Amino acid sequence: MRAHGGRNIDDAYATRRAELALIIAADISQKCPGGGGQGPPRGKDKGRAMETLVNLIIQLISGVVGGNAAGAALKDYNLGNLGNTIAGAIGGVGGGQLLQAIIPAIASAAAGGGVDIGSILGQIVGGGAGGAILTVIAGLVKSMMAPQQAR
């Protein structure tokens, strides 16, 4: 089949399809991570990483405060300053992450741009409660494992 310039129409279509395939492949390699291109803009990923880091710091601090407060309030479950701090920090991160999973609005507000007071309060409450709860649980386990003193 011949076109009006003496070119074969089938050859023209094949050439055009090959060009489109190369364009699509180049576009995919630029957009997909690990595809050889630059990937998504770096600023966006860096912003999300910073927000995640800030959330973890808030959860750690509030967990430490919650753990030490629980240890001071409940003398039977006190693990000492270092024990309360470690248990509170671990519980704070765990509690904050658990609260984000249970209440998706906190996670979406934390992922959005800007400062959201509701998200920060959610991180503080989840971290503090998680730190206090884990400190009490660790203190309870410690008291149960300690040998009973003779009376």
CA distances from 105 to 2, 24, 94, 102, 116 (A): 63, 37, 18, 9, 11
Q: Are 95 and 126 in contact (CB under 8 A)?
A: yes
Phi and psi (nearest 5°) for 8?
Answer: -85, 125
Specify the pLDDT at position 150: 44
Specify the pLDDT at position 151: 42
Q: What is the mean pLDDT of residues 46-57?
A: 77
- How long is the chain? 151
- Pick 141 or 111 by higher pLDDT: 141
pTM over 0.75: no
Rounded to 5°, the CA angle 115-120-122 comes to: 140
Answer yes or no: is pLDDT of 145 > 60.
yes
Phi and psi (nearest 5°) for 22?
Answer: -65, -40
